[in-house]
C-alpha cells in the first residue's frame, strides 16, 4: 500500500487547509500599493475651469490686456506723448505709420490704446487688493465672534453700503480736487469694501457651524487656530469670485469717473480719457471712440465671465 495519501493527509492536518493566494488589486481599500488621489475643492475647480472654454478665452484676453499694461513695447514702438499737436489734422485709419490714425492732439491712436490699459488695470488691481484687505478681516471678525462685534461691523457696513457708489465717488473726488490714480483708488476702496465684508461674514457663519469646526473647538483649539486653520481656508472661496468681478467693476468705474471729468487728466493716458476726448467725433471718426470702448467692454466682460466661471467651479451644487 502506498503511503502517498497518508503523507498528504498528515501534511494537511499539520498545516491546515491550503488557501489559494489572491493577488492584491490596486484601488482595493486596504491594499498597500493603493495610492488613491484625495480630490480637493481647489483641484476639482481647477479641472473644471480648464475644461470651460469661456474661462479659457476670457483669461487669454485678460493676459493680452496685462501685456498691454506691463509690456507695451511688445505692441507699439511709439511714445504716447510724441504728438504732432496739430488739432486741425487728425489722420484717418490706415495712414502711413499710424494704422489706427491719430488723436485730436495728433498722437498715434493705437499707442494710446495700448498705454491706456495700464492706469485702468493698476487702479482696478490696487482697489481690489484694498477692499479685500479691509472687508475680509472685518467679515471674519463679524461672523466668528458675533454679538456686539457683529452689530458694530454690520451697522458700519450698512452706513457705507447706503451711499450711492457713483454719486459718492463724484462728491469725494470733487472735494479732494486731486484727480490721479491714487485718489481714485482710495475712493473705490472706501466705497467698495462692504460687499467683501458681507459675503465673508455670511460664509464664516455657515462654516463655523460645521461638524469639523465644532470638533476642533471641543478638542481645545484656540480662536486664532479655528479662524485661520479651519474656517478661513474653507470660507474664502466666495471672496475670489467677488474680487474677480470687482476687477471688472473698477475698470468700468475708472473710465466712468474719467469720462465725467473727475478721473485721470491729460497728459495721462487712459481708455476713459480717450472716450471723453473724442466722443464729439463719433460721426466723422467713429473709430476714435470704438477702439477704447471695445477694449474697455472686452476687459470688463472678461473679468465678469471669469468670476461666473469661478463661482460655478467652486460651488459643487452648481455643477
Q: Please tell me the predicted confidence (pLDDT) of residue 184.
A: 94
Question: How many C-beta atoms lie closer than 10 Å to residue 225's C-beta?
Answer: 13
Least confident residue range of 38-42, 168-172, 283-287: 38-42
Residues in Cβ contact with 157 at an 8 Å cutoff, skipping those fewer than 6 apart: 138, 194, 197, 198
Over residues 222-249, the mean pLDDT reads 88
How far is C-alpha 115 from the geometric centre of its chain's CA atoms? Answer: 22
For residues 304 and 61, give the distance between their C-alpha atoms in angstroms, rounded to a whole number: 12
DSSP at 98: B
Give the distance from CA 171 to its chain's centroid.
28
Longest Cα separation, the chain: 126
- pLDDT band at residue 108 under the 50/70/90 scheme: confident
The whole-angstrom separation of Cα 251 and Cα 242 is 14
- Is residue 6 scored above 90 in pLDDT? no
Share of the chain above pLDDT 90, in %: 41
> Which residue intervals of the chain bear CATH 1.10.3720.10?
117-318
Residue 282 reports pLDDT greater than 70: yes
pLDDT per residue as tens digits for the range 16-34: 444 444 444 444 444 444 3
Q: What is the pLDDT of residue 103?
A: 80
Residue 250: the pLDDT is 95
The 10s digit of each residue's pLDDT in 52-71 is 999 999 999 999 999 999 99
More confident site: 35 or 281: 281
Judged against a pLDDT cut of 90, whether residue 305 lies above it is answered with: yes
pLDDT band, very low/low/confident/very high, at 105 (cuts 50, 70, 90)? confident
Q: Are 319 and 253 in contact (CB under 8 A)?
A: no
What average pLDDT does the segment 227-235 reach?
84
Instruction: Name the least confident of 40-44, 138-142, 188-192, 208-212.
Output: 40-44
Kindly report which listed range (9-23, 146-160, 191-205, 289-303) carries the lowest average pLDDT score: 9-23
Q: What is the mean pLDDT of residues 262-267?
A: 85
**The CA-based dihedral angle spanning residues 62, 110, 253, 235, taken in that order and rounded to the nearest 10 degrees:** 10
Task: Looking at the structure, give the CATH architecture of the domain made up of residues 117-318.
Answer: Orthogonal Bundle (1.10)
**Spacing of C-alpha 228 from chain mean position:** 21
Average pLDDT over residues 230-238: 86
Average pLDDT (226-242) is 87
Give rounded-to-5 percent helix, strand, coil for the chain: 70, 0, 30
Place of cell 493698476: 122
In the predicted structure, residue 98 carries a pLDDT above the cut 50: yes
Produce one character per residue of 136-156: b if its CB has 16 or more CB atoms within 10 Å, e if not: bbbbbbbbbeeeeebeebeee
| 253 against 22, higher pLDDT | 253
Q: For residue 16, with 0-12 CB atoms within 10 Å meaning exposed, 13-18 middle and 19 or more buried, which class applies?
A: exposed
Burial class (CB within 10 angstroms; exposed 0-12, middle 13-18, buried 19+) of 306? buried
Q: Looking at residues 269-280, what average pLDDT do you find?
A: 87
Candidate from 15-24, 87-96, 187-196, 307-316 with smallest mean pLDDT: 15-24
Amino acid at each position: 500500500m502506498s503511503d502517498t495519501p497518508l503523507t498528504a493527509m498528515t501534511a494537511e492536518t499539520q498545516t491546515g487547509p491550503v488557501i489559494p493566494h489572491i493577488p492584491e488589486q490596486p484601488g482595493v481599500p486596504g491594499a498597500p500599493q493603493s495610492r488613491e488621489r484625495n480630490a480637493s475643492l481647489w483641484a476639482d475647480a481647477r479641472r473644471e475651469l480648464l475644461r470651460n472654454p469661456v474661462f479659457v478665452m476670457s483669461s487669454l484676453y485678460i493676459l493680452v490686456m496685462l501685456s498691454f499694461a506691463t509690456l507695451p513695447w511688445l505692441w507699439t514702438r511709439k511714445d504716447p506723448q510724441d504728438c504732432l499737436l496739430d488739432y486741425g489734422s487728425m489722420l484717418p485709419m490706415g495712414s502711413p505709420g499710424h494704422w489706427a490714425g491719430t488723436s485730436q492732439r495728433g498722437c498715434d491712436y493705437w499707442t494710446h490704446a495700448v498705454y491706456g490699459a495700464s492706469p485702468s488695470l493698476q487702479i482696478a488691481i490696487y482697489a481690489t487688493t484694498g477692499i479685500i484687505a479691509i472687508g475680509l478681516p472685518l467679515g471674519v471678525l463679524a461672523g466668528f465672534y458675533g454679538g456686539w462685534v457683529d452689530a458694530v461691523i454690520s451697522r458700519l457696513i450698512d452706513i457705507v453700503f447706503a451711499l450711492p457708489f457713483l454719486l459718492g465717488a463724484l462728491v469725494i473726488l470733487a472735494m479732494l480736487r486731486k484727480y490721479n490714480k491714487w485718489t481714485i483708488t482710495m475712493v473705490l476702496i472706501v466705497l467698495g469694501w462692504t460687499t467683501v465684508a458681507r459675503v465673508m461674514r455670511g460664509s464664516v457663519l455657515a462654516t463655523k457651524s460645521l461638524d469639523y469646526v465644532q470638533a476642533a473647538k471641543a478638542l481645545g483649539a484656540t480662536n486664532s487656530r479655528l479662524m485661520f486653520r479651519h474656517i478661513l481656508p474653507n470660507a474664502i472661496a466666495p471672496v475670489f469670485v467677488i474680487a474677480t468681478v470687482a476687477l471688472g467693476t473698477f475698470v468700468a468705474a475708472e473710465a466712468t469717473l474719467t469720462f465725467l471729468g473727475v478721473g485721470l487728466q491729460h497728459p495721462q493716458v487712459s481708455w476713459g480719457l480717450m472716450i471723453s476726448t473724442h466722443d464729439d467725433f463719433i460721426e466723422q471718426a467713429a473709430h476714435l471712440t470704438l477702439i477704447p470702448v471695445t477694449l474697455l467692454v472686452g476687459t470688463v466682460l472678461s473679468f465678469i465671465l471669469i468670476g461666473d466661471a469661478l463661482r460655478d467651479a467652486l460651488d459643487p451644487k452648481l455643477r
